[in-house]
Chains A and B, each alone.
Chain A
Amino acid sequence: MPKDLSIKSVLIIGSGPIVIGQACEFDYSGSQASRSLREEGIEVSLINSNPATIMTDEVTADNIYLLPLTVECLEHILQEQHIDAVLPTMGGQTALNLAIEAGNQGLWEKYDIKLIGVDLDAIELTENRDAFKQHVVKLGMEVAPSFIANSFLEGMEAAQKIGFPLVIRPSYTLGGTGGGFVMTEEEYPTALRRGLDASPTHEVLVEKAIFGWKEYELELLRDANDNVVIICTVENFDPMGIHTGDSITVAPAMTLSDTAFQQMRDDAILMMRSLGNFAGGCNVQFAIDPETEKLIPIEINPRVSRSSALASKATGYPIAKIAAKLAIGYTLDELKNQITKTTSAYFEPTLDYVIVKMPRWNFDKFHGSDNTLGLQMKSVGEVMAIGRTFLEALQKACQSLENNRNGLGADKKEWIRTQDILERLEKASDDRLFRLKDALRLGVPNSTVHNLTKIDPWFIKQIKRLVKYEEQLMRFNVPEDIPETFFRELKEVGYSDAQIAWVIRVNEDAVTKQRLALGIRRTYKMVDTCAAEFEAKTPYFYSTFDQENESIPTDNKKIIVLGSGPNRIGQGIEFDYCCVHGLLAIKEAGYEAIMINCNPETVSTDFDMADKLYFEPVYWEHIKEIIDLEKPEGIIVQLGGQTALKLAERFHKEGIPIIGSSFKSLDLAEDRGSFSDLLKDLDIPYPDYGVAHDIDQALEIANRVSYPVLVRPSYVLGGQRMRIVINDKELEKHVLSIYKHLPDNKVLIDQFLERAKEAEVDAIFDGEELMIMGIMEHIEPAGIHSGDSSAVLPTYSLSEESVQTMRDYTLKLAKALDIRGLINIQFAIKDEKVFVIEANPRASRTTPFIAKAYKTPFLNIATHVMMGTKKLKDFDVKRDLEGYAIKVPVFSFDKFPNVDKQLGPEMKSTGEMIRFIKDLQDPYFRQLDRDRSMYLSR
């Protein structure tokens, strides 16, 4: 069946602001779908309220609508554009819900719109837990016993019949909101009420808990001819009981026999075919009884989902790209495998490596939150690592997390109290993997670990191998004593030089030196969908310690872009946007663009974005090996957030060129002391401050600068552990807490400018000329983290003098810091006096927002300036904005019911949206303005 020629113009619905459970993986799917459709000559319109996405960029779609995801806005687009079809499966549950709502209001009929890639009845069926279960039973599959409850009373009755432990699953919610395990009768009434409240239809399924069963996920694609393929099978390291979004997952399945797998494949295909007649992606989850291998389907999502992005990165098969083509009528056998370009898209990828996905949590941002894991997703991001052994992938994933770990243990963060460890094993929380290793290291038997965690013994035995390796390694005193074969084996199971150094108590450099002397270097293998059966054209690589290296450097001049690692609060999708533009600009300038990142949700790690992709931890040892191989002209560290920036010092020391502002400039801006000295020299006001190394010093400084003061550790992200304190007692308490949680850290104490206005500037400097990208005024007063503030572009209430002063200071600072590329400066304005709070010599959280609001490719300009390939005078910038644009933060507090929703100097929002207003009479703006001080806390 060839493509449907009646479709000439498609509207893609995005997923809106990032919240827990629906993150930038939908930017990946939306962007890929859009590019895929445009390749077919189709005009693509796109609606999304999230300005940090690459999908809403001119490079991705033809007509972009940065509008709220409402039926009114959809209608506005349908009036303005001639749309033939709507593709609602790329924007997660949000897009689907909107499509359903618009359908209920008759919008699609009114405008004669075809819904493609979806069957709304199928969605309805899969979202309604009870209907889904009955459907599955009709297909001849088994399910866990359950009852549906629409009231508290019905819920209580259900529990009586089923007994404990049981599960509450609210209907029609995202990422398991409101759901969870209930172990005892006492907890039940509260949990039931919460579940009923969370469901928009006040409906929950009360189900017998199948705790500890093995859990699997299959990613499927189906075309209009009913051909189905399994793209990827993912095994959950954490068994049933923990949301897959919060589980460590592994592909391919490690412990699954062919018999069990084929049963699962048959059932998954049967289920997908039974759900209406849509062409596109689908995800099915199963539980398997480890003793009998009995199979139970858990859920099915007939759309591109969170795991589709992971499956695409894990196999190389671009699910969203192909799903978009299937939606417009192509069948799989008519399409080519995008990686080999010669074989068919109708096939099932096979892996000759192992991938491990590990979630990244941010519990430290949600005080009072419960860090135990369950049915409700709590992680804010994830990393993926690839290796030739499970252990290599596992340790690389640990190195990717940026939790200051150098791998799975074998560093100073190990726990040594068996009792504490065993408690953590039983009640799973964010550190369970590390505690599991600690337990094995302390001699806890495998069987005990299995009984407490229900993790498949195969995984436990593998991790136990690490313990044995370390016991052997401990016998050596210096790296020179480690036999070459053993050294190589250590590297093959993923140990970093830093871990080896820790175990034998030498410094890392000594280990690296000896490793290089032995010639133990990383080789690179290709992710090619087919285990090397066919030649692949796509340069997508990972490192390992195997014999043959497949990544052969070209003779071209190259520039490496460092990505920002896993998403977390304070550093997310906006840096992916920056990296994508960086790559495009590098290519434009005639260089080979090389990307390094480990975040599977990103567009910058798409197989066709960079000239070469290294899917590797943004971790020194891995980066260094790539640099040694590729010998690039330099590295861009300004686009990957703080993650990339903090590696600048190491590059500088090793003599590796940094593209754009030099390390000296970066360091000057980042170091509080020298930066303040600079401000003093430039005669720029700043809040009085001091650096305290102990509590007595802290008290002395606080009293000198006078209360209230802002207290924070140095070198943290998103204002972590930043507080406003008003007296000695509070100060003492907070400073001690910082020293406890972040030992070896200095404490910064700033005078807090009460009732000050806050503003920020993003700018580009090329050494001669300054380009102010935009000046934003925060609606909320100083004291609320800039990431949690509503920022209005341009300023709306500040005096012209203040704005001019900010411009002047920005130019002075850019010159003094000798910036080449981007700089972001935060200001506080009190009584018409402008203070500089901080300067960030890199792309900021707001750069994509400004670029979208003004419809100007600032990141492209900035990258050219960094490379020196163009000067600012080469660009003719026209800012196209009528009225104002507001960046509004979005929170995920519904995932943390007990958390204090007050805002302060520590960032808590997970996402943002953009809102355009014509003037200040706009009711939306007036509401925000009225509420501006409501949530301020300390």
Chain B
Amino acid sequence: MTYIGTHSATLLFEDGTVFKGKAYGKKGTTTGEICFNTGMTGYQEVFTDPSYYNQILVTTNAHIGNYGTMKADSESDRVQIAGLICKNLTVDYHRPLADQSIQEYMEQENLVCISDVDTRAIVRKIRSEGAMNAIISSEHEDIEVLKKLLADTPSMDGLELASKVTTSEPYFVGDENADVRIAVMDFGTKRNILDSMADRGTYLKVFPAKTPYSEVVSWEADGYFLSNGPGDPSSMDYAIETAKHMLESNKPIFGICLGHQILSLANGISTYKMHHGHRGANHPVINLQSGKCEITTQNHGFAVNRQELEAKADTIEVTHVNLNDDTIEGIELKNRPAFSVQHHPEANPGPHDSRYLFDKFIDLIKNHKSK
């Protein structure tokens, strides 16, 4: 324990840029694609969001760890990020409801962290040069050694990761006597997405990502949910295939984030890797159907192709658009009861402005059932 905050750590980028800082968390070495999150609250929720699997996270908030960690704030059963980069890590937390300090938590979860680095400079670098791989180490100081280790890290482009974070066995959430049964395809779902549906009186069966459609259909769900998750959606042929079957079944479908991309791919719309993605809790989205705006939580490095969508305007409606950069935030099929959004309506962390989408999904299922 004595080395905390007194040992140095090194951060090396793919392009050779080096930052020196202090070592926190577990002593070790870690690699991944670097990304930044601009949220000012909810660090633990972000660390445990499976969509961040394998990524090295830069938090832009000046202090991280102030209110410690608590079990109930986790979005999955473990830390998903590969490493953490922050400006000030506060070990000396205070929150009566919390269980432990962020340092204890990181040690328990084997998370390697570098603190006391110029995170703003790093964000500016990512903003101008785009996402890239990086390595953090509190073991090796020799840059050549780090370079060698970094070279072995695969690029996120074309990387399939959902199968690494999905549940190994199916499981159930909610009241088994509920009227509405939803089959959830787990590509790395956040706990709160499931809770958001279960709290609305539904019964969920959560399937491993690669479960064949034939097995899913046998549960006789009233609707299908395509979850969020990490990695390049275009590499997930199995999921696209399942989604196509679901569309043919004509049952209601709702997709979030990666699920939204899968739904798009199943409709012949391609996805692309963004320059550095959207990650934070302040992203502005307009709902084109209602004309109302919502502040959303986002976490995605890939997006859906706008031109291809516009070419298919007769069958797919663009329902949500990002007000900052005009990227697609939501679609709805005109000939099927299916819709999806790129942002995270379940929030956690982040604002609750988009939670109406869960109501919409459940209403859609109920209406569909009564037909």
Q: Which residues of A contact B (CB under 8 A)?
A: 225-227, 229-230, 233, 252-259, 261-262, 265-266, 290-291, 293, 331-333, 342-344, 346-354, 388-390, 456-458, 461-462, 525, 530-535, 546-548, 550
A456 to B88, CA, bound (A): 19
Residues of B within 8 A of A342 (CB): 324
- Cβ-based interface call for B118 (8 A): yes
Residues of A within 8 A of B336 (CB): none
Q: Say whether B95 contacts A350, CB under 8 Å.
A: no
- With both beta carbons as reference points, the residue of chain A lying nearest to B279 in the complex is identified as A533
Q: Say whether B60 contacts A532, CB under 8 Å.
A: yes
Q: Say whether A258 contacts B45, CB under 8 Å.
A: yes
- With both beta carbons as reference points, the residue of chain B lying nearest to A530 in the complex is identified as B38
Report which of B61, B93, B96, B286 forms a contact with A351, defined as CB distance below 8 A.
Answer: B61
A531 to B39, CA, bound (A): 9
Q: Say whether B324 contacts A532, CB under 8 Å.
A: no
A554 to B137, CA, bound (A): 38
**A-B pairs with beta carbons under 8 Å apart, 15 shown:** A258-B45, A258-B350, A262-B349, A265-B352, A291-B96, A343-B323, A346-B286, A350-B40, A352-B38, A390-B63, A458-B67, A532-B60, A533-B123, A546-B120, A547-B121
Which of B62, B121, B295, B351 has most A Cβ within 10 Å? Answer: B62
Other contacts beyond A265-B352, A332-B293: 7, CB < 8 A: A252-B61, A257-B95, A349-B282, A352-B123, A354-B63, A388-B88, A546-B120
Q: Say whether A262 contacts B350, CB under 8 Å.
A: yes
A331 to B323, CA, bound (A): 13
- With both beta carbons as reference points, the residue of chain B lying nearest to A526 in the complex is identified as B120
Residues of B within 8 A of A531 (CB): 38, 60-61, 120, 123
A265-B351 contact given A226-B292, A256-B41, A390-B63, CB 8 Å threshold: yes
Distance in angstroms from A673 CB to nearest chain B CB is 50
Residues of B within 8 A of A530 (CB): 38
A710 to B347, CA, bound (A): 67
Q: Say whether A261 contacts B41, CB under 8 Å.
A: yes
The A-contacting residues of B in range 39-96, CB under 8 angstroms, are 39-42, 45, 60-63, 66-67, 73, 87-88, 90, 92-96
Q: Say whether A229 contacts B295, CB under 8 Å.
A: yes
Q: Say whether B67 contacts A256, CB under 8 Å.
A: yes
- Cβ-based interface call for B306 (8 A): no
Q: Say whether B88 contacts A389, CB under 8 Å.
A: yes
Q: Say whether B39 contacts A350, CB under 8 Å.
A: yes
A484 to B127, CA, bound (A): 31
Residues of A within 8 A of B63 (CB): 254, 354, 389-390
- With both beta carbons as reference points, the residue of chain B lying nearest to A351 in the complex is identified as B40
Residues of A within 8 A of B120 (CB): 352, 388, 525, 531-532, 546, 548
- Cβ-based interface call for B124 (8 A): yes
Q: Say whether B295 contacts A348, CB under 8 Å.
A: yes
- With both beta carbons as reference points, the residue of chain A lying nearest to B290 in the complex is identified as A225
Distance in angstroms from A351 CB to nearest chain B CB is 7
Q: Say whether A354 contacts B62, CB under 8 Å.
A: yes
Report which of A258, A456, A547 forms a contact with B41, defined as CB distance below 8 A.
Answer: A258
Distance in angstroms from A837 CB to nearest chain B CB is 50
- With both beta carbons as reference points, the residue of chain A lying nearest to B8 in the complex is identified as A485
- With both beta carbons as reference points, the residue of chain B lying nearest to A529 in the complex is identified as B282
Residues of A within 8 A of B117 (CB): 547
- With both beta carbons as reference points, the residue of chain B lying nearest to A252 in the complex is identified as B40
Residues of B within 8 A of A457 (CB): 94
A585 to B14, CA, bound (A): 49
Residues of B within 8 A of A525 (CB): 120
Q: Say whether A255 contacts B66, CB under 8 Å.
A: yes
Q: Say whether A333 contacts B323, CB under 8 Å.
A: yes
A462 to B94, CA, bound (A): 11
A192 to B350, CA, bound (A): 43
Q: Say whether A458 contacts B93, CB under 8 Å.
A: yes
Report which of B19, B62, B66 forms a contact with A458, defined as CB distance below 8 A.
Answer: B66
A342 to B280, CA, bound (A): 18
A233 to B323, CA, bound (A): 23
Residues of B within 8 A of A343 (CB): 284, 323-325
A716 to B101, CA, bound (A): 49
Q: Say whether B88 contacts A534, CB under 8 Å.
A: no
Q: Which range contains the number of B residues in contact with the other chain?
A: 35 or more
Q: Say whether B350 contacts A461, CB under 8 Å.
A: no
7 closest A-B pairs (Cβ-Cβ)?
A: A258-B42, A548-B121, A344-B323, A258-B349, A531-B60, A547-B118, A258-B41
- With both beta carbons as reference points, the residue of chain B lying nearest to A485 in the complex is identified as B8
Report which of B94, B324, B325 forms a contact with A255, defined as CB distance below 8 A.
Answer: B94
- With both beta carbons as reference points, the residue of chain B lying nearest to A261 in the complex is identified as B41
Q: Say whether A347 contacts B283, CB under 8 Å.
A: yes
Residues of A within 8 A of B93 (CB): 458
Which of A254, A259, A525 has most B Cβ within 10 Å? Answer: A259
A241 to B283, CA, bound (A): 36
Q: Say whether A458 contacts B94, CB under 8 Å.
A: yes
Distance in angstroms from A464 CB to nearest chain B CB is 9
Distance in angstroms from B125 CB to nearest chain A CB is 9
A458 to B124, CA, bound (A): 30
Distance in angstroms from A62 CB to nearest chain B CB is 33
A354 to B117, CA, bound (A): 16
- With both beta carbons as reference points, the residue of chain A lying nearest to B20 in the complex is identified as A547
Q: Say whether B324 contacts A461, CB under 8 Å.
A: no
A256 to B73, CA, bound (A): 13
A856 to B350, CA, bound (A): 52
A757 to B42, CA, bound (A): 66
Residues of A within 8 A of B45 (CB): 258
Distance in angstroms from B195 CB to nearest chain A CB is 13
Residues of B within 8 A of A462 (CB): 92
Report which of A254, A257, A353, A532 forms a contact with B127, defined as CB distance below 8 A.
Answer: A532
Which of A226, A331, A458, A534 has most B Cβ within 10 Å? Answer: A458
Report which of B36, B124, B324, B352 forms a contact with A344, defined as CB distance below 8 A.
Answer: B324
Report which of B94, B118, B282, B291 forms a contact with A225, defined as CB distance below 8 A.
Answer: B291
Q: Say whether A548 contacts B124, CB under 8 Å.
A: yes
Residues of A within 8 A of B292 (CB): 225-227
Q: Say whether A290 contacts B96, CB under 8 Å.
A: yes
Q: Say whether A352 contacts B94, CB under 8 Å.
A: no
A677 to B120, CA, bound (A): 57
Q: Say whether A346 contacts B284, CB under 8 Å.
A: yes
A344 to B41, CA, bound (A): 22
Distance in angstroms from B329 CB to nearest chain A CB is 13
Residues of B within 8 A of A353 (CB): 62
Q: Say whether B41 contacts A347, CB under 8 Å.
A: no
Distance in angstroms from A515 CB to nearest chain B CB is 19
Distance in angstroms from A848 CB to nearest chain B CB is 38
Which of B60, B66, B73, B292 has most A Cβ within 10 Å? Answer: B66
- With both beta carbons as reference points, the residue of chain A lying nearest to B91 in the complex is identified as A461
Report which of A227, A350, A390, A547 forms a contact with B282, defined as CB distance below 8 A.
Answer: A350
- Cβ-based interface call for B97 (8 A): yes
- With both beta carbons as reference points, the residue of chain B lying nearest to A390 in the complex is identified as B63
- Cβ-based interface call for B166 (8 A): no
Residues of A within 8 A of B38 (CB): 350, 352, 530-531, 533
- With both beta carbons as reference points, the residue of chain A lying nearest to B124 in the complex is identified as A532
Q: Say whether B118 contacts A350, CB under 8 Å.
A: no
Residues of A within 8 A of B295 (CB): 229-230, 346-348
- Cβ-based interface call for B348 (8 A): yes
Residues of A within 8 A of B242 (CB): none
Report which of A266, A290, A347, A548 forms a contact with B118, defined as CB distance below 8 A.
Answer: A548
A257 to B70, CA, bound (A): 10
Distance in angstroms from B221 CB to nearest chain A CB is 30
- Cβ-based interface call for B119 (8 A): yes
A342 to B293, CA, bound (A): 18
Q: Say whether A347 contacts B62, CB under 8 Å.
A: no
Residues of A within 8 A of B323 (CB): 333, 343-344, 346-347
The A-contacting residues of B in range 113-144, CB under 8 angstroms, are 117-121, 123-124, 127
Distance in angstroms from B224 CB to nearest chain A CB is 28
Q: Say whether B127 contacts A352, CB under 8 Å.
A: no
Residues of B within 8 A of A547 (CB): 19, 117-118, 121
A253 to B41, CA, bound (A): 9
Residues of B within 8 A of A352 (CB): 38, 60-62, 87, 119-120, 123
